[in-house]
């Protein structure tokens, strides 16, 4: 970690300063060294917390589209590399098939077909899909819409 390199450099500088000093008085505390030691300790505690699967899990939200899927694939790989537990994936804004009638515009029908194809990839790439949240008629704002979102996620 870069903090360890800075600490080593600071300790070497302090040691050299003491060695070259004409006076034998005790050197004053080095505020930068103290800060770096405290910072390293805080980062160690944060790492312990972030990698403890009994206390922490990250959930990634994606859309059934190419770019968001590619992004969370990359992020999930990074989290695994760092030992950070991933709790699962939530798919957001999925068009519900039964909401699209025969009279729906071609754009909506094409979008539904596209999402269905991406959902196949999501199911094969992410075995831990926790919820699929539908595309609502309005954005999620307010208590009522939060309730509907929670119902979609946890039912």
Q: What tens digit of pLDDT does each residue of 82-105 get?
A: 999 999 999 999 999 999 989 999
- Give the model's pLDDT for residue 26: 64
90 bridge partner residues: 61, 131
Q: CA 65, CA 73: separation in Å to the nearest integer?
A: 12
Q: What is the average pLDDT score of the chain?
A: 91
Q: How is residue 34 written in tokens?
A: 């103290």
Burial 122-143 (b: 16+ CB within 10 A, else e): beeebeeeebbbeeeeeeeeee
% the chain with pLDDT above 90: 72
Q: How many CB atoms lie within 10 A of CB 112?
A: 19
Architecture of domain 58-154: 3-Layer(aba) Sandwich (3.40)
pLDDT in tens, the chain (155 residues): 687 888 788 788 777 777 777 666 666 777 888 898 899 999 999 999 999 999 999 999 999 999 999 999 999 999 999 999 999 999 999 999 999 989 999 999 999 999 999 999 999 999 999 999 999 999 999 999 999 999 999 98
Domain segments of the chain as ranges: 2-50, 58-154
Contacts of 73 (CB under 8 A, 6+ apart): 125
């Amino acid at each position: 970690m870069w903090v360890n390199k800075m600490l080593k450099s600071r300790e070497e500088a302090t040691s050299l300063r003491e060695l070259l000093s004409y006076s034998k008085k005790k050197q004053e505390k080095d505020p930068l060294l103290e800060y770096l030691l405290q910072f390293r300790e805080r980062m160690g505690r944060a790492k312990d917390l972030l990698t403890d699967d009994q206390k922490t899990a990250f959930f990634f939200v994606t859309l059934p589209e190419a770019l968001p899927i590619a992004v969370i694939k990359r992020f999930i790989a990074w989290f695994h590399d760092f030992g950070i537990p991933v709790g699962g994936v939530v798919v957001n804004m999925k068009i519900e098939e039964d909401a699209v009638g025969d009279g729906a515009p071609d754009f909506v029908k094409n979008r539904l077909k596209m999402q269905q194809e991406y959902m196949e990839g999501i199911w094969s790439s992410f075995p831990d899909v926790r919820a699929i949240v539908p595309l609502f008629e309005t954005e999620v704002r307010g208590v009522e819409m939060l309730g509907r979102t929670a119902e979609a996620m946890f039912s």
